[in-house]
Every structure is written in structure tokens, then in C-alpha cells.
């Protein structure tokens, strides 16, 4: 592979050729990438759960306060 075609990674402003890194460094990079993907997945999950919670709160408002939904849903902030 030509020098300009090497896979590189930039860490804190320094560019490294992946193939020149130790096996342990490459494993750590894979773990960081996995963690980043999992964080993204969890953010999507959180957004989905928050949307569901809003829908449940609206349903409860309708149930308790009629169709106008005049009842405010309050939760214990210590549990959040």
C-alpha cells in the first residue's frame, strides 16, 4: 500500500498510521469505537423512552382532567 493510502487515525491533533500502531493500541481504538457506537445507540433509546413518557403523560392528563388535559403531571425530581 502506498504511503498516501494508509489508514490513519487522528488523536489529539496527531495523525497515526493504524498499521504502525501496536496490537494493543488497535484493540483500544476498537473499544473506543464500540463505546462511541453504544453511546449513540443509548441516546436514541433515551429519545424513544422520553417520547413514550410524554405520550403516557398526555394520556394520564386526558384521563384525569378530561380532553382538555388541564392536569399537570409532576414526578419526583429526586428520581430523575
pLDDT in tens, the chain (80 residues): 555 678 999 999 999 999 999 999 999 999 999 999 999 999 999 999 999 999 999 999 999 986 665 556 667 666 65
For 23, 38, 63, the CA distances from 19, given in Å and listed in that order, are 9, 25, 62
Q: Which residues contact 29 (CB under 8 A, 6 or more apart)?
A: 9, 18, 21
- Where do the structural domains in the chain lie, given as residue ranges? 23-70
Please give the grid coordinates belonging to residue 65.
Answer: 382532567
Strands 8-11 and 14-17: antiparallel
Q: How many other C-beta atoms are found inside a 10 Å radius of the C-beta of residue 9?
A: 15
Amino acid at each position: 500500500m502506498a504511503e498516501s493510502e494508509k489508514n490513519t487515525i487522528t488523536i489529539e491533533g496527531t495523525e497515526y498510521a493504524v498499521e504502525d500502531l501496536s496490537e494493543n493500541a488497535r484493540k483500544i481504538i476498537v473499544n473506543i469505537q464500540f463505546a462511541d457506537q453504544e453511546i449513540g445507540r443509548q441516546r436514541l433509546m433515551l429519545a424513544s423512552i422520553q417520547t413514550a413518557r410524554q405520550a403516557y403523560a398526555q394520556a394520564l392528563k386526558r384521563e384525569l382532567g378530561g380532553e382538555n388535559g388541564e392536569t399537570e403531571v409532576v414526578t419526583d425530581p429526586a428520581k430523575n
